[in-house]
Amino acid sequence: MKKWLKITLPLVIIGLMPISACAAPQINSPLGSSGEALYSPKGEDSAMRYEVDAGAGIELSTDRKTIKSGNITLEVESITGAMTEIAAIAESLNGYVVSSNKYEYGDRTHGSVSFRIPAESFNNALDKLRDIAISVPAESTASQDVTEEYIDLQAQLHNLQATESQYLALLEKATTVEEILKVQQALSSVRGQIEQIQGRINYLDRTTDMSLITTSLEEQGTLVTSWSALGPLKAAFQGLVSFGRGLLTALIWLGIFCWAWIPPLVIWLKRRRRKAS
């Protein structure tokens, strides 16, 4: 009986730990269930340091995490040339092209290029893009601060990793197949949460370290290139076709109703001849 209590009681207690581990770390609520501070900010806003209390001895430190993105429309002489220059700009700033596209719309060519560059080179990249353009019809930038979310995820990750270690220790003490299966099931659930949180942390690391800029390209139009003889020729041909259709329609109507207008015409011609004679 005592052996059963030694195994099952820790299982029940530790089985509740993943729930508390996911719910406890909240940035907006710095107090735990015992009223003790879970996080204590130190230093300036630009560099925030947080410590996990409760005797864990884990210190979380991070710089401010900001996701920067930009959209810019460039009017250029050549879409193909501009796309090549943009790729070169991204490479020169230790970045890379995410996607590029070139398409025809009406009688003009358009294109787009999306690329990522290190966050510290964000403004420099925009300056270089302006330099290759004839004009910049539109430009916008956005910034999203994810520092609090990042710190919250770090705290959750550390708590879940501590829970995982306790499950592993408990697994070594399990003696029956049923006990082993229960611990492994709980351990699998905790590891799934760890992978999910770690994936989100990795995503925030990538998007805050590498800013995204989307460039829309429009080819410059001139008076010489914007006029084409093909347009007037098409319009004249369509007018000729419409006139021919109208004339043919009139002749068909005259032919169908010949019984109505031919007899009066014959009578009129005969009367005119008599008067002339």
Question: 181 and 49 in one domain?
Answer: yes
Instruction: Note down pLDDT in tens along the chain; length 277 residues.
Output: 444 444 554 554 455 454 444 433 333 333 233 333 333 333 334 333 333 333 344 555 557 899 999 999 999 998 999 999 999 999 999 999 999 999 887 777 889 999 999 999 999 999 999 999 999 999 999 999 999 999 999 999 999 999 999 999 998 888 889 988 999 999 999 999 999 999 999 999 999 999 999 999 998 763 344 556 676 777 777 888 888 888 888 878 777 877 777 788 778 777 777 777 6
Residue 80 belongs to domain spanning: 66-145+212-223
Question: 151 and 58 in one domain?
Answer: yes
> What are the structure tokens assigned to 187, written together?
């351990």
Question: 193 and 124 in one domain?
Answer: no
Question: 133 and 21 in one domain?
Answer: no
What pTM did the predictor assign? 0.55
**Distance set, CA 95 to CA 1, 87, 109, 121, 259 (Å):** 64, 9, 26, 9, 84
Question: 139 and 216 in one domain?
Answer: yes
Question: 16 and 83 in one domain?
Answer: no
